[in-house]
Every structure is written in C-alpha cells, then in structure tokens.
Structure 1
C-alpha cells in the first residue's frame, strides 16, 4: 500500500494492541489517566502562561533560537504547544493521540531538530509544569497527591518520547533504505555501463576498424568453432581466401590513404554479400577470408562470382582480386592450419595465373584432407575482377 494512504501508526505497524501494551509498559493505567484528567481543570487556565515560560527557556538556547528563526514561527509553535498540553491532560490516549505524537516526531525530524534537543525540550517542559502541578491541592477523596500527579505526568511524557523516537528511527531507516537503493541503482547502472564498455572493447579487440570485418585473432576463433560444428553435423564447410592484386603498387602510386579507402570498400562489399551465418574477416594487409558454413566448393564459387559482380558498386575500376577457395568435409576434415593453408595455396595459384595472363583469377583447392596431396581437383581458373567478370 502507498505510504500516503496509511497513517503513521499504520506505516510503523503500531496497532491498538501495541498501543495498549505500551501504555501498560509506561504505567499509563486507569488511575494514571484519571490523575492526568484531574489536572486539566487546574492547568487549562494557566496554559498561555506555561507556554510563554517554556519558550522563554527554549529561546535562551542559541541552537533552538536559530531553529525557530522568527516571531511568526514562534507564534505557530506556541499555538501547537498549547494544543499539545490540552491533549496531554485530556485523558484520551488512543490511536488518534498516537498518530499526533508520531506526526510531531516526523515534523521535528524533517525540520532538523536533533534527538538531544527534543529530549532537552521535554525536560524543560516538565520543569516548567512542575510548579503548576505542585500547586494543585491534594484530594484525599481521590487519593491524589503531588507525587502521584508528577509521576503521572512523567509517565505520559515517557510514552510520548517513545512514540516520537519511533518516528525518528523509522525516518533514519527510511533514509538508509533510500540511500541503499540509490547506491544499488548506481552500482547497477555502473555495472551495466562497465559491461557495455567491456563489450565494446571486446568488440574492438575482435574487429578490424578499417574494414568493419573480424580481425585476424577473431578469424581463428570463428574458424575453429565453425570447423567443430561442421564435424559434429558431418557437413561441408568452405573457405574463401582472397587478396587485392598489386595492392603495394596502388599504395605507392596513389598513397596509403587511397589504399585504405579501397580496403574499406572491400569490407563493405564483403559485408553486403555474406549470409547470416557467414563470417568475413580481414586476415591481414590486403588479404581477406570468408568462412562459409554448410557450403560446398561449388556453392562457394557461385558466392565468389556474385560478390565480384557487385564489386563495381563499391570499388574503383581497375582493382582486381586473386581468389582461392577450399572445402573440407563432410566426411574427412582438414585441421585449421591445413584448411587455411589449402585456401591460401589456391589463392596463390590464382595469383600466378593472373600474373602470367594479366588476369585476376579464382582457384579451387582439392576437396578433402584425404586426397589433398594427390588430387588434381583444383578445377578451372576463372577471371574475377571488379570491372569485368567472365562466365
């Protein structure tokens, strides 16, 4: 339930039964209540005088005078004290009385009245009242004397102090709870921010900033995982390994800035063509790899053709590629280094053919680990360039 829909007693779980137990604990018996009620007719006519004397004592304390601050506040406090004294001797100490005492405690806490000042004020109020209580004539018919009246007043003050301090303690616990929540929220937001930054740093450590592709380190992690999945599922996996022909000459003639631009465009071209499960990487320098899970060498060749056919949308004319493709699985599998080596070898075969024919070529590696040493299955060499594509 919302706090604003509960009384202070309800918030502190002070029930009627709890009130009864507290009254018993502090000696608020029927006789005590009768004694306090009997005092009312003698105190009531002297209320204004008692309140004035009380605040004369209070304002003589610099710290209290500073808290009160001005004449208008003093007048409001005097009126509130007048009401409190009337209720003190009224003889009704029920839930309404308890809520009023709790509210006093909350107000005092909110305006910065420390517990020591509150206790000091109660002591001064008792001292101010004492002469007036002592002046009440003894009543043998009711067995009331000065001692019993002073004891009854002390008991009701102790009852009130206990209620006020419940509010002080509850307010401090609430402040602690709020502070704890704020710390937890800050820690949670900080944890989220750290996790976000950590993820960003991890992503940066695995990504090539120039091309947006996975870097050399991430490539080996991805390929190791993809090879393991292919073996578990007995499925083929292909690897495209390609580089940019005469890239050093481009850098030397047009500058590294232009060379970096071409590398960035190759990254965009590659990312525009790969499927969800494919992984494109910058292997290093002007060399790139594309991991194609669940893909045969023929399907990989189709992919390479399609990628190069889209190259003019991204890359300047005259840029050519040497592309090698290797497949492993679905029955026999290369280890990681051998798999990369086969694709790399196929790429250099394509490059040699390109150099001799002044063309940019695609070369297919042998199909499996079992026949890698003897197979002539390297297939045909197909010209693949950014400006023209032979069927």
Structure 2
C-alpha cells in the first residue's frame, strides 16, 4: 500500500483535511465566540458537582432503548461508557476548543461508527444529553445566566456534531471506495477468467478434438502467416500431406474407437516432432498435414521416412505421404502448395509400391490462376511396404 494512502501514516486531522483555519471557520459559522467559551468555562465547577447524577440519568434513558442496550451489551462496558461520558461533559465546559478538542470529537465519531451506532441514535443521544444539561442549568443558574449559557452550549454542541458527522461521512466514503475497489478487482478477475475461457473456447473451435491439431480453416490461416514470414526471411517451407491407409476399413473392422486411438497417437506424435514454427492440422477424416519451417525437399524426405516408420511402430498402421516444397528462390501460394502436396499424395496412393512422392515448386506458373502449378521435377522415393 502507498504510504500516502495508509491511514496509519496520517493523523486523524490530516485524513479529514482539518486545519487550524478550518476550526476557526467553523466557530465563526456557528457563532462560537470567545465570550461563549468564557461563559461555558464559568459553569464547569457547578457541572463537576452534578456530573455523576446527570450521567446516571442519561444512561438510564439510553439503556431503555433496545438498540442502544444491545450495543452496550454488558455492565463493564456500561461503566466504561459512563466514565468516558463524564470526561466528555466536563470538556464541554473546559474552555479549550482547539485542535486537541476537535481530535477527541473526531475519535468519538469514529468509535460510534465502528461499533455500529447509527447517526440517528447518536443524534438522539446528543439531544437527550443536551436536554438534561439544560434542565440542570435552568435549575441551578440565575435567570440572567441560564439563557446565554444554554445558547453557548447549543453552539458548541453543533460545533461538536459537525465534526462527528465528518467522520461518519468520511467512513462511508472510505467504505464506498473500498467496495468499488473490490468490485473493480472482482470485475478484473472475472474479465481475466472470461478471457481465459474465451481463449479456451476459441482453441477448442480451432483444434480437432481427437488429435488436438488445427482444423482445416485455422490451419490454412496459420500457413498463410508462416508463408509471409518465410518470404521475408527467404527460407524454404515444406508441406507434408499424410493419409492413413485403409482408415475406413479399420473403423469398419475394429470400430471407430480404434480409429480414434490411431488419430490420437498420430496427433501426439506430430506435436512431439514439431519445431517452434511448424504447423500441423487435421484436414480430413483420415488426412493430416504438417508444414515444416526452414525445410527443403531433402530434409522433408528424411522427415517423412522417419515419420512413416515411427507411426507404423506406434500404431501398427501405414500412411501414404505427399510432400511439396517452395522457396527460397520462388514461392508459390499456400493454396498451390497444398494442391501440390495433395497431388503427390495421390501419386503415392495410386502406386501401391510407393509410400512417398515429393516435389519442389520453384518456377512461375504458366497456367491461368487456379490451375495446378507446374512442377520442376517429380522425384519419387519408392519404399516397399512391409507385410
């Protein structure tokens, strides 16, 4: 917490921005003049004589109010309150109504608010106290002294009440500010959770449930972004099209659960072998693709050879593969690269003795837009499938 915001680093006067000038101004506003202070001071010896009986009468009335009795709660607390009330009443006639006096009034307000005394209970108590003191003044003071003494006391009590209510108001403002901070913190936390859940939902919408690889549209979008990076960095990119052999037959023979297990294992394998900027997706029911960053055709072929062997070992399933590479001298479009890889995959499936066909695209297309990009060469790596 900032030291300037920590209440323990400031006096109560500083917290409420009360200065000597403020005290003088309030006295002027309530008409509390030096002559009033002198009149009050002259009554202190008399009040000292009657203070015990007056306080007893005051709390007899106060404890008859259920809300007040519940707040006081026990005899020990009541006795402490009586002593504090005696001190307060005598201070009304002490004649010193400056900074220390104001501090004591502010503390009264803070304590009353803290223990749950509502403003109306406080005001009713002040009214009862003033009534008892006025009765005493009228009873023991000469007629020519009673009226100015009561008027002076009225001014001082209004002065007191104004400061007590400052503490009530300040406490309410502080509570409101703290409540606002808590609401803002909760809202911020809720916003973070919503954002987190939204990201999770977006991720679920972008990825395949079984393989946790990208779905077709997010895969193509990610491929386009990577293309832009490869072109600016002048590095090659290879796209590998993978198709599980006889996948429909596996589902028919062993059930879809077995097919799901195979997809999950292949997805796990691809995520494991991917580098930072590689992209993998499930493009169809039995077809997956992976884009290899900074990978030329030779590296792509080596990757595919290992991929086929590893998938066969881990799943007992064979895959056919088509590989297409572009860059760094010329870059086709992502769409053309996907079509080229699919074409090579088709060749691998058509020639059953081959599991992999690959091609590098590094010439400008001569056909109209949308036609298949011409292939500089078609190198087929033939591998007799085991079993």
Q: TM-score, normalised to structure 2's length?
A: 0.89
Q: What residue number does 1:192 align with?
A: 192
In structure 1, which of residues 350, 364, 378 is the aligned counterpart of residue 359 of structure 2?
Answer: 364
5+ long unaligned stretches in structure 1: none
Give secondary structure in 1 for the equivalent of 2:18: coil
Please say if 1:338 is aligned against 2:336: yes
Give secondary structure in 2 for the equivalent of 1:383: coil
Q: 1:239-298, CA deviations, whole angstroms, 9 ceiling, x for partnerless residues?
A: 111111112222222222121111111112212222111111111111011112333223
**1:313/1:5 CA distance change after superposition, 3 Å:** farther
Please say if 1:59 is aligned against 2:63: yes
Q: What residue number does 2:178 align with?
A: 178
Q: What residue number does 1:320 align with?
A: 318
Q: How far apart, CA to CA, are the structure 1 residues paired with 2:179 and 2:373?
A: 71
1:202 Cα deviation from its structure 2 partner: 0.6
Q: How does 1:62-81 map to 2 (within 5 A)?
A: 62-81=66-85
Q: 1:185-204, CA deviations, whole angstroms, 9 ceiling, x for partnerless residues?
A: 11010000000000111111
Q: How far apart, CA to CA, are the structure 1 residues paired with 2:135 and 2:374?
A: 120
Q: What residue number does 1:265 align with?
A: 265
Over aligned residue pairs, what C-alpha RMSD do you find?
2.4
Q: How does 1:281-320 map to 2 (within 5 A)?
A: 281-311=281-311, 314-316=314-316, 319-320=317-318
**1:295/1:363 CA distance change after superposition, 3 Å:** closer
Q: How far apart, CA to CA, are the structure 2 residues paired with 1:256 and 1:365?
A: 36
Q: 1:316-354, CA deviations, whole angstroms, 9 ceiling, x for partnerless residues?
A: 3xx21211111234454433333211110110101111x
Q: TM-score, normalised to structure 1's length?
A: 0.89
Give secondary structure in 2 for the equivalent of 1:327: strand
Q: How far apart, CA to CA, are the structure 2 residues paired with 1:200 and 1:374?
A: 41
Q: 1:211-254, CA deviations, whole angstroms, 9 ceiling, x for partnerless residues?
A: 12112121111122223334445543321111111122222222
1:38 Cα deviation from its structure 2 partner: 0.6
Q: Is the 8 A contact 1:238 1:295 kept in 2?
A: yes
Q: What residue number does 2:350 align with?
A: 352
Q: What residue number does 1:242 align with?
A: 242
Give secondary structure in 2 for the equivalent of 1:284: coil
Q: What residue number does 2:162 align with?
A: 162
Q: How does 1:17-166 map to 2 (within 5 A)?
A: 17-138=21-142, 145-166=145-166
Q: How far apart, CA to CA, are the structure 2 residues paired with 1:311 and 1:258?
A: 15
Q: How far apart, CA to CA, are the structure 1 residues paired with 2:374 and 2:240?
A: 21
Aligned length, in residue pairs: 378
Q: How far apart, CA to CA, are the structure 2 residues paired with 1:173 and 1:34?
A: 37
1:173 Cα deviation from its structure 2 partner: 0.7
In structure 2, which of residues 12, 23, 30 is the aligned counterpart of residue 8 of structure 1?
Answer: 12
Q: How far apart, CA to CA, are the structure 2 residues paired with 1:320 and 1:62?
A: 87
Q: How far apart, CA to CA, are the structure 2 residues paired with 1:269 and 1:81?
A: 81
1:75 Cα deviation from its structure 2 partner: 2.3
5+ long unaligned stretches in structure 2: 367-371
Q: How far apart, CA to CA, are the structure 2 residues paired with 1:384 and 1:6?
A: 86
Higher alpha-carbon deviation: 34-43 or 59-68? 59-68
Q: 1:99-133, CA deviations, whole angstroms, 9 ceiling, x for partnerless residues?
A: 21111111111222111121111111111011222
Q: Is the 8 A contact 1:361 1:384 kept in 2?
A: no
**1:50/1:237 CA distance change after superposition, 3 Å:** same
1:373 Cα deviation from its structure 2 partner: 5.7
